[in-house]
Amino acid sequence: MKDLVLVLGDQLSPGLPGLRQLQPGDADILMAEVTAETEYVWHHRKKIAFIFSAMRHFAGELRAAGRHVIYRAFDETPPCPELASAVADALAAGNYKRLILTEPGEWRLRAEMESWEERFGLPVIILEDDRFICSHDDFNRWADGRKQLRMEYFYREMRQRTGLLMEGGKPAGGRWNFDSENRKPASGNLFMPQPFGAEPDAITRDVLDLVEARFPDGFGDLRPFRFAVTRADAEKALDHFIATALKDFGDYQDAMLKGEAFLYHSVLSAYINAGLLDPLDVCRRAEAAWQAGEAPLNAVEGFIRQIIGWREYVRGIYWREGPDYVRRNALEATRPLPDFYWSGETDMACLAAAIGQTRREAYAHHIQRLMVTGTFALIAGIDPHALHEWYLAVYIDAFEWVEAPNTIGMSQFADGGLLGSKPYAASGAYIDRMSDYCAGCRYDVKDKTGPKSCPFNALYWDFLDRNADRLRGNPRLGPVYKNWDRMDEAKRQAYRDRAEAVLKGL
Ligand code: FAD
Ligand code: DLZ
Ligand code: SF4
């Protein structure tokens, strides 16, 4: 009797534990495009197409390597409703001794899979996903007993463990972190790099037609579709990033520019998260570029920190904190998500730009997510769970283990400061400093409380005022509250009134 190995849409790695431990003759592989996975949030149509096409290509590669793959395509009528029904059908059709799984990237599926042994009456083995650098046990060992979890300290351990950018046990360049050099605004540039784009092949074209036909009311633009869907093309995207953008990644990491969706970002997150690229390998390639003198240390350190630092850290927190993490709401924010998060139709030029490109590309870079859509929702008091579902839907790289801690923790402070030390609240001045959005906006970023004043300005102070009981004690906000306290009451009231008008207008 053989084993049955289920491979999910974000587990497309030949080194996946469930695949590398079994010989081709010992196991059949099951992959399934199923309705439930396309419906748990209103996924961007590019995201559905990316997952389906990458799954189909991966199944082809497995077959070419001599594996037997049972593939349930969405074109079956009716499509397979959920992963459990795909498993049930495969078990009914074959004679299997065990079901082998690699742990999924969310609590929802994890809980479901834990019920499968009883449901299907055969041993179900759930293997730890060791495509990450830090195991659950290692993260818990690091976190246990600490008063505060802070990414920077976790990151230093990951540097030591991987040896990345380490020289004789010390950080290369004498510092762990070069962020102080990384906050430059960018300016338009004819030679701005663009991410690698793949021409859709016949498999991708079929998937695009399928998604167009089956998700006519889906979110976002399906075409043009230029994402890589194979390991080979994802490798090309990595090479392309290292050759064209890595050297400027650090300097312009926090910059935003009208009409430039990608700037010097790598646009590799979807490939890493789906398993097409290995995170450690990506980091070693960036390190090699620094060693070869092709990219400066501030860029390479910043890039590597995002992957072995932030990416591993947020995952550790997601699994450590449990399934209720996505429901946390420390600031008790309850305002519904404004419709313009879906339509992009708002006069606020920064939000229109970030959401417009999200609709077109299924991509926004970190500062757009954190300091535009994230900050606005935070200071407007939007329900963090509704916002979480939005981020989980609209980005091609969105899987709950990485999206939820970034949204609930980093961006909305809804975990009360567990993941990060302060809320990312800001007035329009931040966006004005880091972007060219304000120049073309209907609102005036310099105006604080007038009818045309930038909405971020009043909402910022109103947020601090509304949440004073919860936030005043935060040491990083002490100076800000001092400024608020020093303002005369008429000015404070003008901020409150303008904020009320903005919020009514949502
Ligand atoms: P780059 O800027 O080129 O960074 C390099 C790589 O570092 C990324 O590919 C990614 O793998 C990793 N990385 C960078 N920042 C983070 C981070 N904060 N957390 C984890 N990994 C990071 N990232 C996702 O992969 N999926 C998500 O669903 C997601 N949701 C987010 C939601 C919010 C509210 C915020 C503020 C951030 C979110 N991020 C998410 C993190 C980050 O914005 C994206 O990883 C990044 O924008 C992807 O673009 P890139 O590949 O060009 O990244
Ligand atoms: C995101 C996604 C989509 C849209 N469709 C599928 C699918 O049909 N089959 C599948 O195995 N996986 C899909 N995925 C990815 C899963 O939702 C993902 O594995 C879980 O969210 C866990 O991270
Ligand atoms: Fe955004 Fe305010 Fe600038 Fe307009 S003025 S782009 S709303 S920060």
In the structure, which protein residues have their CB atom closer than 6 angstroms to any atom of ligand 2?
A: 8-10, 32-34, 37-38, 43, 48, 51, 104-106, 109, 399
Which strands make up the sheet holding 124-127, listed edge to edge? 68-72, 27-32, 2-6, 96-102, 124-127
Q: What angle do CA 71, 75, 77 make, to 5 degrees?
A: 105
Angle between helices 489-505 and 455-466 (to 10 degrees): 110
Give pLDDT, residue 181.
84
Q: Which domains does the chain have, with CATH numbers?
A: 2-127 (3.40.50.620), 136-195+245-321 (1.25.40.80), 340-505 (1.10.579.10)
For 177-293, strand residue ranges (E) read none
Residue type, 258: K
The pLDDT value given to residue 189? 81
The predicted structure's pLDDT at residue 24? 77
**What is each CA distance from 504 to 338, 447, 490, in whole angstroms?**
11, 19, 21
Q: Residue 267 has what pLDDT?
A: 98
> Residue 128: its pLDDT value, please?
97
- ipTM for the predicted complex: 0.99
Give the ligand whose atoms come closest to the C-alpha of residue 414. 1
- Cα of 31 to ligand 2 centre, how many Å? 10
Percent of the chain with pLDDT over 70: 100
Considering Cα of 247, then 251, then 254, then 256, what sign does the dihedral take? negative
Q: Which parts of the chain have pLDDT scores under 50?
A: none
Longest dimension (CA), the chain: 79
Q: What is the pLDDT of residue 25?
A: 85
pLDDT of residue 492: 98
Closest ligand to residue 71's CA:
2
